[in-house]
Chain A
């Protein structure tokens, strides 16, 4: 006998907690299509499909691509919210397609999917990420120390000091925050929340010695002071990072010059 096959659907018997029987439902996806090889204008296109509402939006996009229209184009990789490839605007909110279940979206109405805003759309849901990564690189996102003699063992850090910047280490650079920010939409020169989050991760790391330099970078006219505290970024973050709080902490450090 071989390894048991585990994908038999709809078995009889009492459902377990969290596994109530869920018959397939019909859902309409309204996707903003754009392909400059075909047309200079974007268009909304509707796709109907049968899907289990416990599945992810990414599963739905795959079903459309694989069964209906192979030209539908989007980025994805890990499919469980770790790699940050599939940030998109779903029903008007920035989310990861692989972390958004159909059932949480009111599937009775058409579900809209479009590219994240503020970055140039290359094709369908794919945007040009280079400006986003440039802003990230500009905040010097790496540990800088001035010791002339590197310790032979690890640097010591207390659990409290480690906890101080824990929240901002969770960033997966998906751009959901930055592309949800109205300031960024209006002015692409603004560093944007993700770059500030990554600066925060080092500014508040007790091992780092370049906090002052990073603060000066963020004191720029395109730096933290552009933030209008709309909290869109915090709502958009699929990792639950308190992005606005991190930006406020950077602002406070700039005012008090104390980290």
Chain B
């Protein structure tokens, strides 16, 4: 075991982690621990753009953007946070441009902007061009630009270091962050990082679904680490299903395709979104479009022999426009489906995409241990966190924005904290839990296989807690997850070695997915209303009287060692906007 000491430790090197690292490295001695080489992070898969009311191509302002974000989130958004997001969006985009990001340009040479779902002029009048983009590879450009600037700033990376535990020490009865414990993939060695401040920026949990746009590595590692140490997770029942994943594969096809004029059609060729969202049509918010697609499918208007998908039609757009604005997604259709998007529509279905919930933070990125108490020295930003700027449904292009605005804020706040705070003492035997976990898995002679349990989990989640949910389906999921958690205790790995043991890594990741799937299902069962991405067929309406509040889920361990989940609730921060019926 090795012990390292840094002022600031950042867990994860996607957009949020690297944006934080650029700030933290300027102000404090910083280490970035990342499971993947930084440029492998899933920020790079984001396509369509980053929202900011630059008003480069038409009238726009941050207040309209704030409203759209609050409405898009079905009024579960904390409105103070949304206002910060929309206001700081403008400088965030300009900062990236100054760092070198090659945005597409207008004829005047300014940053070009395009339409995106749920973004409107003047509180819903019509779609507005707010998304700043670089073809359909905006996330790739952001990830590369941030990595380039990390190289420039001399950020210190520990690549392929997998953080498995959050260290907490109580000082005068208050939980403080003391550091993290990491597993080095190349050697199997355990490392303890003592740090004054820790920032989680480790991304989402999408791999508990089968049809998902998420990378294999998005297994909720950060959420699981803090949750197991008794800290709450907020709004975990809210998961976004992106309307246009490649049929069966789940690979993302950007909403920018509809922003450029693409149309969703059912088997009769009908532009069905006109029925569900007369103003915004194909550019309604993602939860609305995903439900509309499944409604078409369930009512027998789906495409294909099984009627299990619909079409994204780009055939009316000029090939030059597809080549210039949507080169990557048209190539995906050619590579993975053998389809030519110039002439044939692309079969799509909703795909699990984004966790709105996560580790609760305030607007400085400080992690909360209950509704109001800050955990000194602990921060989170990006998809792992819940500020909450996305509420019950995130708008497209607001996640690339979120990682830049709140990654930056968390990086500054953490480094400023570590500049004035001292080290908190490490708990006795800090690596004990991780050593035990790793050794138990490595030495297990159990008969259960990781891949089998993971597949059953994913199929259960797709079938029961996806776009449509009922009391019955969610209960089915809760029971199945409990069974899988029991079986997981008997899981073993075939690779017993120390060197690059990805077999062991997958086993650990599955443990995280199972814990978080349970939190999601239990949180969803208790929310007896429909709001944003959480749609209950048995409670089809939003219930602001009882449920305009955030879910806070805590892991409890009884005296006999039994684990359970305790749910509590936190009020939504409301400033300017009263909840209204949501129409697009």
Cβ contact within 8 Å between A14 and B499: no
Of the stretches A25-33, A147-155, A211-219, the one at the interface is: A147-155
Cβ contact within 8 Å between B495 and A71: yes
* Residues 280-298 (chain B) with a chain A CB within 8 angstroms: 294, 297-298
User: In this assembly, does B494 line the interface, its C-beta being within 8 Å of a C-beta of chain A?
Assistant: yes
Cβ contact within 8 Å between B108 and A6: no
Of the stretches A136-144, A184-192, A222-230, the one at the interface is: A136-144
Identify the closest chain B residue to A67 (Cβ). B451
* Residues 443-468 (chain B) with a chain A CB within 8 angstroms: 449-451, 459, 462-464, 466-468
Rounded to whole angstroms, the CA-CA distance of A30 and B450 in the bound complex is 24
Cβ contact within 8 Å between A80 and B336: yes
Query: A residues within 8 A CB of B122?
Result: none
Query: B residues within 8 A CB of A13?
Result: 304-306
Identify the closest chain B residue to A133 (Cβ). B37
Offer 12 A-B interface pairs, CB within 8 angstroms, sorted by A.
A8-B306, A16-B304, A17-B339, A66-B450, A80-B249, A83-B215, A99-B335, A123-B500, A154-B93, A159-B106, A162-B104, A170-B140
Chain B residues in the interface with A (C-beta under 8 A):
36-37, 39-42, 44-45, 93-94, 97-100, 102-111, 134, 137, 140-141, 144, 148-149, 151-152, 186, 210-211, 215-217, 247-249, 251, 294, 297-298, 303-306, 308-309, 328, 332, 335-339, 344, 347, 349, 449-451, 459, 462-464, 466-470, 473, 493-495, 497-503, 537
Cβ contact within 8 Å between A85 and B503: no
Cβ contact within 8 Å between A159 and B100: no
Determine the main DSSP class of A at the interface with B: loop
Cβ contact within 8 Å between B305 and A14: yes
Query: B residues within 8 A CB of A15?
Result: 305
Output the least CB separation between B381 and chain A (Å).
20
Given known pairs A70-B503, A84-B39, A142-B149, the reply for A11 and B105 (CB within 8 Å) is no
Most buried by B among A123, A154, A172: A154
Identify the closest chain B residue to A160 (Cβ). B105
Cβ contact within 8 Å between B216 and A76: yes
Rounded to whole angstroms, the CA-CA distance of A5 and B463 in the bound complex is 6
Cβ contact within 8 Å between B335 and A81: yes
Query: A residues within 8 A CB of B497?
Result: 35, 37-38, 71
Output the least CB separation between A54 and chain B (Å).
8
Cβ contact within 8 Å between A82 and B44: yes
Cβ contact within 8 Å between A85 and B40: yes
User: In this assembly, does A156 line the interface, its C-beta being within 8 Å of a C-beta of chain B?
Assistant: yes
Cβ contact within 8 Å between B39 and A71: no
Cβ contact within 8 Å between B464 and A2: yes
Rounded to whole angstroms, the CA-CA distance of A119 and B108 in the bound complex is 45
Cβ contact within 8 Å between B44 and A172: yes
Shortest 7 CB-CB distances between A and B: which pairs? A13-B305, A143-B100, A70-B494, A66-B451, A156-B109, A3-B466, A70-B503
Which among A3, A19, A154 is the interface contact of B294 at CB below 8 angstroms?
A3
Which among B45, B94, B304, B493 is the interface contact of A19 at CB below 8 angstroms?
B304
Most buried by B among A1, A19, A78, A171: A78
Cβ contact within 8 Å between A6 and B40: no
Chain A residues in the interface with B (C-beta under 8 A):
1-8, 11-19, 35-38, 54, 65-67, 69-71, 73-85, 99, 101, 122-124, 126, 129, 133, 136-137, 141-143, 150-151, 153-159, 162, 165-166, 169-173, 202, 205, 207-208
Rounded to whole angstroms, the CA-CA distance of A77 and B42 in the bound complex is 8
Most buried by B among A16, A35, A36, A79: A16
Query: A residues within 8 A CB of B42?
Result: 77-78, 83
Output the least CB separation between B302 and chain A (Å).
9
Cβ contact within 8 Å between A172 and B251: no
Identify the closest chain B residue to A124 (Cβ). B500
Which among A7, A80, A158, A173 is the interface contact of B251 at CB below 8 angstroms?
A80
Query: B residues within 8 A CB of A150?
Result: 98
Cβ contact within 8 Å between A7 and B248: yes
Output the least CB separation between A159 and chain B (Å).
5
Cβ contact within 8 Å between A11 and B305: yes
Which among A7, A75, A80, A208 is the interface contact of B45 at CB below 8 angstroms?
A80
